[in-house]
């Protein structure tokens, strides 16, 4: 049985985080076009909420990558859907839901840099640095969280619980 009753981050705290991140991005990219690459499926809600707060010209594209089965990272990157926009010479922002071990994002960053963007930065809603096994550090960090498996606000456990408007801790009973 799975228990998701413990709220770790409230809806209000998520809204405050979005406002802060958008202010940082609006300052750093003022007047410059930005290609936002949302990582499906977990980041779709975060990406949507974030881009609506951005003031510069924005092109939105998506990629779907995976390295997890349930709660376990496999360490292998699978690109299930590639972006359709050419990022060569563009300022690019990868928008991710959560950084855990960092393996998936480090591999993705390496692949995207080969496509020749003018700049490539990472924005994550949630960061779990205690689990990191790579040197990856997000350029824009929403909220640092403890080493707990979380769901809600787009994050899932085997496809479920994405619809919560807050972040909850998964407890196995």
B/e letters for 136-148, b = 16+ CB within 10 Å, e = fewer, are: bebebbbbebeee
Radius of gyration of the chain, Cα coordinates, nearest whole angstrom: 16
Residue 136 has φ and ψ, to the nearest 5°, of: -65, 130
Quote the CA–CA distance of 40 and 155 in Å, as a whole number.
10
- Residue pair 162/135 in contact by the 8 Å Cβ criterion: no
**How many CA within 13 A on the CB side of residue 65?**
29
Catalytic residue among 49, 91, 97, 100: 100
Please say if 100 is a catalytic residue.
yes
Active site residues: 100
């Amino acid at each position: 049985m799975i228990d998701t009753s413990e709220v770790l981050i409230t809806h209000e705290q998520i809204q405050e985080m979005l406002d802060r991140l958008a202010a940082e991005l609006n300052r750093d990219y003022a007047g410059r076009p930005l290609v936002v690459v949302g990582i499906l499926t977990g980041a779709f809600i975060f990406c949507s909420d974030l881009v609506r707060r951005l003031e510069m010209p924005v092109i939105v594209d998506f990629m779907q990558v995976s390295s997890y089965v349930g709660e376990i990272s496999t360490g292998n990157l699978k690109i299930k859907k590639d972006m359709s926009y050419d990022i060569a010479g563009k300022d690019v922002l990868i928008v991710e839901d959560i950084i855990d071990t960092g393996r998936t994002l480090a591999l993705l960053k390496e692949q995207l840099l080969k496509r020749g963007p003018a700049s490539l930065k990472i924005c994550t809603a949630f960061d779990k640095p205690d689990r990191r096994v790579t040197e990856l550090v997000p350029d824009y960090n929403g909220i640092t969280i403890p080493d707990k498996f979380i769901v809600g606000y787009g994050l899932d456990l085997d496809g479920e619980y994405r619809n919560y408007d807050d972040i909850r801790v998964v407890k196995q009973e």
